[in-house]
Amino acid sequence: MMALRSGPPPAVAWIGGVDGYLRLLDQTLLPGTVETIDCRTVEQVWEAIRALRVRGAPAIGVAAAYGVVVGCQSARAGSPSAFAARLEQTLDYLASSRPTAVNLFWALDRLRRAAGAMPASATAADVLERLWREAQAIEAEDRQMCAAIGRWGAPLLSGCGGVLTHCNTGGLATAGEGTALAVIIAAARNNPRLRVYADETRPLLQGARLTTWELLQRGIDVCLICDAMAAWVMQQRRVQAVIVGADRIAANGDTANKIGTYGLSVLARAHGIPFYVAAPSSTFDRALPDGSRIPIEERPAAEITQPFGRMIAPEGCPTYNPAFDVAPAANITAIITERGVIQPVQAEQIDRVLSAAV
Protein backbone atom coordinates (compact mmCIF):
# COMPACT_ATOMS: atom_id res chain seq x y z
CA MET A 1 0.00 0.00 0.00
CA MET A 2 1.33 3.42 -0.96
CA ALA A 3 1.74 6.06 1.79
CA LEU A 4 0.12 9.25 0.54
CA ARG A 5 1.10 12.69 1.76
CA SER A 6 -1.33 14.57 4.01
CA GLY A 7 -4.02 16.85 2.67
CA PRO A 8 -5.03 20.48 3.08
CA PRO A 9 -5.48 22.38 6.36
CA PRO A 10 -8.94 21.95 7.96
CA ALA A 11 -11.76 23.79 6.25
CA VAL A 12 -13.61 24.25 9.56
CA ALA A 13 -12.16 24.38 13.08
CA TRP A 14 -13.52 25.43 16.45
CA ILE A 15 -11.00 27.36 18.52
CA GLY A 16 -11.27 27.27 22.33
CA GLY A 17 -14.06 26.16 24.64
CA VAL A 18 -17.76 26.94 24.60
CA ASP A 19 -16.90 30.66 24.48
CA GLY A 20 -14.58 30.13 21.52
CA TYR A 21 -15.03 30.94 17.85
CA LEU A 22 -15.17 29.38 14.41
CA ARG A 23 -12.07 29.43 12.21
CA LEU A 24 -12.64 28.86 8.49
CA LEU A 25 -10.16 28.45 5.68
CA ASP A 26 -11.23 31.11 3.17
CA GLN A 27 -11.74 28.94 0.09
CA THR A 28 -12.46 31.88 -2.18
CA LEU A 29 -8.74 32.76 -2.01
CA LEU A 30 -7.39 29.29 -2.78
CA PRO A 31 -5.09 28.11 -4.18
CA GLY A 32 -3.09 31.35 -4.35
CA THR A 33 -3.60 32.49 -0.77
CA VAL A 34 -4.01 30.26 2.26
CA GLU A 35 -5.77 32.41 4.81
CA THR A 36 -8.21 31.74 7.61
CA ILE A 37 -11.04 33.91 8.88
CA ASP A 38 -12.21 33.91 12.48
CA CYS A 39 -15.99 34.12 12.86
CA ARG A 40 -17.10 35.57 16.19
CA THR A 41 -20.59 36.59 15.04
CA VAL A 42 -23.35 34.62 13.35
CA GLU A 43 -23.44 37.25 10.61
CA GLN A 44 -19.84 36.37 9.73
CA VAL A 45 -20.74 32.68 9.58
CA TRP A 46 -23.78 33.40 7.37
CA GLU A 47 -21.69 35.51 5.00
CA ALA A 48 -18.94 32.87 4.87
CA ILE A 49 -21.46 30.19 3.85
CA ARG A 50 -23.23 32.45 1.33
CA ALA A 51 -19.97 33.61 -0.27
CA LEU A 52 -18.58 30.02 -0.42
CA ARG A 53 -15.68 30.82 1.90
CA VAL A 54 -16.79 27.55 3.44
CA ARG A 55 -18.51 25.23 0.99
CA GLY A 56 -19.32 21.61 0.20
CA ALA A 57 -22.43 20.10 1.77
CA PRO A 58 -20.91 18.40 4.85
CA ALA A 59 -18.60 21.34 5.67
CA ILE A 60 -21.54 23.73 5.40
CA GLY A 61 -23.40 21.57 7.94
CA VAL A 62 -20.48 21.60 10.39
CA ALA A 63 -19.92 25.35 9.97
CA ALA A 64 -23.62 26.08 10.49
CA ALA A 65 -23.69 23.96 13.66
CA TYR A 66 -20.83 25.97 15.13
CA GLY A 67 -22.49 29.12 13.78
CA VAL A 68 -25.44 28.41 16.05
CA VAL A 69 -23.10 28.31 19.05
CA VAL A 70 -21.50 31.60 17.99
CA GLY A 71 -24.94 33.13 17.51
CA CYS A 72 -26.19 32.09 20.95
CA GLN A 73 -23.12 32.91 23.06
CA SER A 74 -24.34 36.40 23.91
CA ALA A 75 -27.60 34.98 25.33
CA ARG A 76 -25.93 32.57 27.76
CA ALA A 77 -26.31 34.83 30.83
CA GLY A 78 -30.00 35.53 30.19
CA SER A 79 -33.19 33.60 30.93
CA PRO A 80 -33.87 30.22 29.31
CA SER A 81 -36.81 31.71 27.39
CA ALA A 82 -34.70 34.56 26.02
CA PHE A 83 -32.08 31.98 25.05
CA ALA A 84 -34.71 29.85 23.30
CA ALA A 85 -35.88 32.87 21.32
CA ARG A 86 -32.31 33.70 20.34
CA LEU A 87 -31.73 30.10 19.31
CA GLU A 88 -34.79 30.04 17.01
CA GLN A 89 -33.76 33.33 15.45
CA THR A 90 -30.22 32.02 14.86
CA LEU A 91 -31.44 28.74 13.34
CA ASP A 92 -33.78 30.56 10.94
CA TYR A 93 -31.11 33.03 9.97
CA LEU A 94 -28.50 30.38 9.17
CA ALA A 95 -31.09 28.35 7.26
CA SER A 96 -31.38 31.27 4.84
CA SER A 97 -27.69 31.18 3.87
CA ARG A 98 -27.87 28.59 1.05
CA PRO A 99 -30.83 26.45 -0.11
CA THR A 100 -29.62 23.24 -1.76
CA ALA A 101 -27.24 21.33 0.53
CA VAL A 102 -29.53 19.51 2.94
CA ASN A 103 -26.67 18.97 5.40
CA LEU A 104 -27.20 22.59 6.46
CA PHE A 105 -30.81 21.96 7.49
CA TRP A 106 -29.95 18.54 8.91
CA ALA A 107 -27.30 20.07 11.20
CA LEU A 108 -29.58 22.93 12.30
CA ASP A 109 -32.33 20.43 13.04
CA ARG A 110 -29.97 18.35 15.15
CA LEU A 111 -29.11 21.39 17.24
CA ARG A 112 -32.79 22.32 17.61
CA ARG A 113 -33.58 18.81 18.83
CA ALA A 114 -30.58 18.73 21.20
CA ALA A 115 -31.75 21.95 22.83
CA GLY A 116 -35.35 20.72 22.91
CA ALA A 117 -34.31 17.58 24.79
CA MET A 118 -32.76 19.53 27.69
CA PRO A 119 -34.55 19.26 31.07
CA ALA A 120 -36.84 22.15 32.08
CA SER A 121 -34.37 23.03 34.85
CA ALA A 122 -31.55 23.72 32.36
CA THR A 123 -30.06 27.22 32.37
CA ALA A 124 -29.19 29.11 29.22
CA ALA A 125 -25.53 28.26 29.84
CA ASP A 126 -26.40 24.56 30.08
CA VAL A 127 -28.18 24.68 26.73
CA LEU A 128 -25.30 26.55 25.10
CA GLU A 129 -22.89 23.90 26.37
CA ARG A 130 -25.17 21.18 24.95
CA LEU A 131 -25.29 22.93 21.55
CA TRP A 132 -21.51 23.15 21.48
CA ARG A 133 -21.19 19.44 22.29
CA GLU A 134 -23.67 18.59 19.51
CA ALA A 135 -21.72 20.69 17.00
CA GLN A 136 -18.55 18.88 18.03
CA ALA A 137 -20.32 15.54 17.58
CA ILE A 138 -21.47 16.53 14.08
CA GLU A 139 -17.89 17.40 13.17
CA ALA A 140 -16.45 14.16 14.62
CA GLU A 141 -19.15 12.03 12.98
CA ASP A 142 -18.52 13.65 9.63
CA ARG A 143 -14.84 12.72 9.89
CA GLN A 144 -15.78 9.10 10.59
CA MET A 145 -18.35 9.05 7.78
CA CYS A 146 -15.71 10.21 5.30
CA ALA A 147 -13.36 7.41 6.35
CA ALA A 148 -16.12 4.80 6.05
CA ILE A 149 -17.18 6.11 2.60
CA GLY A 150 -13.55 5.76 1.49
CA ARG A 151 -13.43 2.17 2.72
CA TRP A 152 -16.71 1.17 1.04
CA GLY A 153 -15.95 2.92 -2.21
CA ALA A 154 -12.29 2.06 -2.85
CA PRO A 155 -12.97 -1.44 -4.25
CA LEU A 156 -15.24 0.09 -6.90
CA LEU A 157 -12.27 1.96 -8.36
CA SER A 158 -9.72 -0.84 -7.93
CA GLY A 159 -9.52 -1.76 -11.62
CA CYS A 160 -9.55 1.81 -12.94
CA GLY A 161 -6.66 3.51 -14.68
CA GLY A 162 -8.56 6.80 -14.77
CA VAL A 163 -11.48 8.34 -12.90
CA LEU A 164 -13.30 11.59 -13.58
CA THR A 165 -14.59 13.84 -10.81
CA HIS A 166 -16.42 17.14 -10.64
CA CYS A 167 -16.36 20.09 -8.22
CA ASN A 168 -14.57 19.56 -4.90
CA THR A 169 -15.54 16.79 -2.53
CA GLY A 170 -12.42 16.45 -0.39
CA GLY A 171 -11.06 17.70 2.90
CA LEU A 172 -12.09 21.23 1.95
CA ALA A 173 -15.73 20.16 1.60
CA THR A 174 -15.99 18.03 4.76
CA ALA A 175 -14.48 17.61 8.22
CA GLY A 176 -12.54 14.54 7.03
CA GLU A 177 -10.96 13.31 3.80
CA GLY A 178 -14.10 13.95 1.81
CA THR A 179 -16.77 11.92 0.05
CA ALA A 180 -15.98 11.20 -3.61
CA LEU A 181 -12.42 12.32 -2.96
CA ALA A 182 -12.15 10.01 0.07
CA VAL A 183 -12.98 7.14 -2.26
CA ILE A 184 -10.34 8.31 -4.73
CA ILE A 185 -7.75 8.76 -1.96
CA ALA A 186 -8.48 5.30 -0.55
CA ALA A 187 -8.31 3.74 -4.03
CA ALA A 188 -5.03 5.55 -4.82
CA ARG A 189 -3.39 4.02 -1.74
CA ASN A 190 -3.67 0.60 -3.38
CA ASN A 191 -3.46 1.76 -6.98
CA PRO A 192 -0.77 4.46 -7.31
CA ARG A 193 -1.27 4.47 -11.08
CA LEU A 194 -4.78 5.84 -10.73
CA ARG A 195 -5.11 9.11 -12.64
CA VAL A 196 -7.80 11.59 -11.62
CA TYR A 197 -9.34 13.80 -14.30
CA ALA A 198 -10.65 16.88 -12.46
CA ASP A 199 -13.28 19.00 -14.20
CA GLU A 200 -12.50 22.68 -13.71
CA THR A 201 -16.15 23.19 -12.60
CA ARG A 202 -17.35 26.46 -14.05
CA PRO A 203 -18.19 29.06 -12.94
CA LEU A 204 -16.46 29.08 -9.55
CA LEU A 205 -13.74 26.58 -10.47
CA GLN A 206 -13.88 24.37 -7.38
CA GLY A 207 -12.27 21.60 -9.44
CA ALA A 208 -9.43 23.71 -10.83
CA ARG A 209 -8.75 25.68 -7.67
CA LEU A 210 -9.50 23.16 -4.91
CA THR A 211 -9.55 19.54 -6.10
CA THR A 212 -6.25 19.76 -7.96
CA TRP A 213 -4.73 21.58 -4.96
CA GLU A 214 -5.80 18.82 -2.60
CA LEU A 215 -4.72 15.97 -4.84
CA LEU A 216 -1.33 17.49 -5.67
CA GLN A 217 -0.68 17.94 -1.94
CA ARG A 218 -1.47 14.27 -1.44
CA GLY A 219 0.79 13.15 -4.26
CA ILE A 220 -2.10 11.73 -6.32
CA ASP A 221 -1.86 11.89 -10.12
CA VAL A 222 -4.32 14.58 -11.19
CA CYS A 223 -5.02 16.05 -14.60
CA LEU A 224 -7.13 19.20 -14.92
CA ILE A 225 -9.61 19.44 -17.79
CA CYS A 226 -12.22 22.03 -18.80
CA ASP A 227 -15.80 20.89 -18.21
CA ALA A 228 -16.46 20.72 -21.94
CA MET A 229 -13.70 18.10 -22.36
CA ALA A 230 -15.39 15.42 -20.25
CA ALA A 231 -17.25 13.81 -23.17
CA TRP A 232 -14.07 13.49 -25.19
CA VAL A 233 -12.14 12.10 -22.22
CA MET A 234 -14.80 9.40 -21.92
CA GLN A 235 -14.86 8.73 -25.65
CA GLN A 236 -11.08 8.22 -25.55
CA ARG A 237 -11.50 5.66 -22.74
CA ARG A 238 -9.22 7.64 -20.45
CA VAL A 239 -11.57 7.02 -17.51
CA GLN A 240 -13.30 3.85 -16.36
CA ALA A 241 -15.51 5.54 -13.75
CA VAL A 242 -17.01 8.89 -12.81
CA ILE A 243 -17.44 9.73 -9.13
CA VAL A 244 -19.05 12.84 -7.64
CA GLY A 245 -20.41 14.04 -4.31
CA ALA A 246 -23.92 15.23 -3.53
CA ASP A 247 -25.74 18.14 -1.96
CA ARG A 248 -29.11 16.46 -1.56
CA ILE A 249 -30.37 12.99 -2.44
CA ALA A 250 -34.12 12.37 -2.68
CA ALA A 251 -35.87 9.19 -1.48
CA ASN A 252 -35.62 7.57 -4.93
CA GLY A 253 -31.90 8.39 -5.34
CA ASP A 254 -32.20 11.43 -7.62
CA THR A 255 -29.10 13.44 -6.70
CA ALA A 256 -28.52 17.19 -6.67
CA ASN A 257 -24.89 18.16 -7.02
CA LYS A 258 -22.78 20.91 -8.59
CA ILE A 259 -24.03 22.15 -11.96
CA GLY A 260 -22.63 19.88 -14.65
CA THR A 261 -23.28 16.67 -12.73
CA TYR A 262 -26.46 15.86 -14.65
CA GLY A 263 -24.59 16.19 -17.94
CA LEU A 264 -21.81 13.92 -16.69
CA SER A 265 -24.36 11.29 -15.68
CA VAL A 266 -25.85 11.34 -19.20
CA LEU A 267 -22.40 11.15 -20.78
CA ALA A 268 -21.30 8.30 -18.54
CA ARG A 269 -24.41 6.35 -19.45
CA ALA A 270 -23.90 7.01 -23.16
CA HIS A 271 -20.33 5.70 -22.90
CA GLY A 272 -21.16 2.71 -20.69
CA ILE A 273 -19.04 4.06 -17.82
CA PRO A 274 -20.18 3.57 -14.18
CA PHE A 275 -21.36 6.76 -12.52
CA TYR A 276 -20.93 6.77 -8.74
CA VAL A 277 -22.18 9.21 -6.10
CA ALA A 278 -20.47 9.29 -2.69
CA ALA A 279 -22.31 10.92 0.20
CA PRO A 280 -22.96 10.50 3.92
CA SER A 281 -26.44 9.69 5.24
CA SER A 282 -26.74 13.37 6.29
CA THR A 283 -27.05 14.26 2.58
CA PHE A 284 -30.24 12.22 2.07
CA ASP A 285 -33.57 14.02 2.19
CA ARG A 286 -36.04 11.18 2.17
CA ALA A 287 -38.93 13.58 2.79
CA LEU A 288 -38.66 14.41 -0.93
CA PRO A 289 -39.92 11.53 -3.08
CA ASP A 290 -37.78 12.53 -6.05
CA GLY A 291 -35.41 15.20 -7.28
CA SER A 292 -38.02 17.46 -8.84
CA ARG A 293 -38.61 19.29 -5.57
CA ILE A 294 -34.99 19.82 -4.56
CA PRO A 295 -34.48 23.60 -4.30
CA ILE A 296 -31.81 24.67 -6.76
CA GLU A 297 -29.77 27.70 -5.79
CA GLU A 298 -29.37 30.44 -8.38
CA ARG A 299 -26.34 32.61 -7.92
CA PRO A 300 -25.46 36.15 -9.06
CA ALA A 301 -24.97 36.85 -12.77
CA ALA A 302 -21.54 38.33 -12.09
CA GLU A 303 -20.21 34.86 -11.31
CA ILE A 304 -20.52 33.97 -14.99
CA THR A 305 -20.17 37.37 -16.68
CA GLN A 306 -17.29 38.59 -14.53
CA PRO A 307 -15.55 35.57 -13.05
CA PHE A 308 -12.81 36.46 -10.58
CA GLY A 309 -13.19 40.14 -11.42
CA ARG A 310 -12.64 40.02 -15.20
CA MET A 311 -15.54 40.99 -17.48
CA ILE A 312 -15.96 38.23 -20.12
CA ALA A 313 -19.47 39.02 -21.42
CA PRO A 314 -21.08 42.21 -22.69
CA GLU A 315 -22.35 44.56 -20.00
CA GLY A 316 -25.97 43.73 -19.09
CA CYS A 317 -26.00 40.37 -20.90
CA PRO A 318 -28.91 38.26 -19.52
CA THR A 319 -27.81 35.14 -17.66
CA TYR A 320 -29.10 32.00 -15.97
CA ASN A 321 -26.80 30.73 -13.22
CA PRO A 322 -28.12 27.63 -11.41
CA ALA A 323 -25.45 26.36 -9.00
CA PHE A 324 -26.71 22.77 -8.99
CA ASP A 325 -28.54 20.25 -11.14
CA VAL A 326 -30.09 16.84 -10.54
CA ALA A 327 -28.76 13.54 -11.85
CA PRO A 328 -31.65 11.07 -12.12
CA ALA A 329 -31.33 7.84 -10.14
CA ALA A 330 -31.57 5.89 -13.40
CA ASN A 331 -28.17 7.28 -14.43
CA ILE A 332 -26.45 6.44 -11.13
CA THR A 333 -24.71 3.07 -10.90
CA ALA A 334 -24.34 3.15 -7.11
CA ILE A 335 -24.36 5.52 -4.15
CA ILE A 336 -21.55 5.01 -1.65
CA THR A 337 -22.49 5.90 1.92
CA GLU A 338 -20.84 5.34 5.30
CA ARG A 339 -23.28 2.47 5.83
CA GLY A 340 -22.58 0.63 2.60
CA VAL A 341 -23.05 0.78 -1.15
CA ILE A 342 -26.55 1.35 -2.51
CA GLN A 343 -26.98 -0.59 -5.74
CA PRO A 344 -29.32 -0.58 -7.55
CA VAL A 345 -30.24 3.02 -6.78
CA GLN A 346 -33.87 2.59 -5.77
CA ALA A 347 -35.93 3.71 -2.77
CA GLU A 348 -36.13 0.25 -1.15
CA GLN A 349 -32.39 -0.29 -1.43
CA ILE A 350 -31.72 3.19 -0.03
CA ASP A 351 -33.95 2.40 2.97
CA ARG A 352 -32.25 -0.94 3.48
CA VAL A 353 -28.67 0.40 3.43
CA LEU A 354 -29.37 3.53 5.44
CA SER A 355 -31.07 1.56 8.19
CA ALA A 356 -28.00 -0.69 8.56
CA ALA A 357 -25.83 -0.21 11.64
CA VAL A 358 -22.60 1.68 10.94
Name the minimum Å distance from CB 101 to ligand MRU.
Answer: 6
Verify binding: residue 230, ligand MRU, rule CB under 6 A.
no
Name the minimum Å distance from CB 58 to ligand MRU.
Answer: 5
Pairing of strands 195-199, 221-225: parallel
Verify binding: residue 191, ligand MRU, rule CB under 6 A.
no
Q: Is the dihedral of CA 174, 175, 181, 183 positive or negative?
A: negative
8 Å CB contact between 24 and 11: yes
Q: Which of 73, 97, 206, 337 binds ligand MRU (CB under 6 A)?
A: 206
Give me the catalytic one of 142, 199, 227, 247.
247
Verify binding: residue 337, ligand MRU, rule CB under 6 A.
no
- What are the E-state strand segments in 168-232? 195-199, 221-225
Can 142 be counted among the known catalytic residues?
no
Piece in contact with ligand MRU (CB under 6 A), picked from 36-44, 49-57, 124-132, 186-194: 49-57
Name the minimum Å distance from CB 16 to ligand MRU.
Answer: 27
Name the minimum Å distance from CB 230 to ligand MRU.
Answer: 15
- For the segment 110-149, give every residue that binds ligand MRU (CB under 6 A): none
Residues 6 or more apart whose Cβ sits within 8 Å of residue 185: 4, 7, 150, 170, 177, 178, 218, 220
Name the minimum Å distance from CB 155 to ligand MRU.
Answer: 20
Closer of 80 and 153 to ligand MRU (Cβ): 153
- For the segment 149-168, give every residue that binds ligand MRU (CB under 6 A): 167
Sheet holding 36-39, edge to edge: 12-15, 21-25, 36-39
- For the segment 244-273, give every residue that binds ligand MRU (CB under 6 A): 245-247, 257-258
8 Å CB contact between 336 and 351: no
First to last CA, the chain: 25
Pairing of strands 275-278, 334-337: parallel
Give the interface size with ligand MRU as a residue count (CB under 6 A).
Answer: 19
Q: Is the dihedral of CA 99, 8, 280, 109 positive or negative?
A: negative
Name the minimum Å distance from CB 167 to ligand MRU.
Answer: 4
What are the DSSP calls for 70-85, one per residue?
HHHGGGTTS-HHHHHH
Name which of 213, 212, 154, 208 is nearest 179 in CA terms: 154
Verify binding: residue 333, ligand MRU, rule CB under 6 A.
no
Q: Is the dihedral of CA 108, 110, 111, 112 positive or negative?
A: positive
Q: Which of 90, 179, 252, 282 binds ligand MRU (CB under 6 A)?
A: 179
Closer of 326 and 329 to ligand MRU (Cβ): 326
| Cis preceding linkage at 155, omega within 30 | no
Verify binding: residue 52, ligand MRU, rule CB under 6 A.
yes
Given the rule CB under 6 A, which residues bind ligand MRU? 52, 55-58, 101, 167, 169, 173-174, 178-179, 206, 245-247, 257-258, 323
Q: Which residues are catalytic?
A: 247
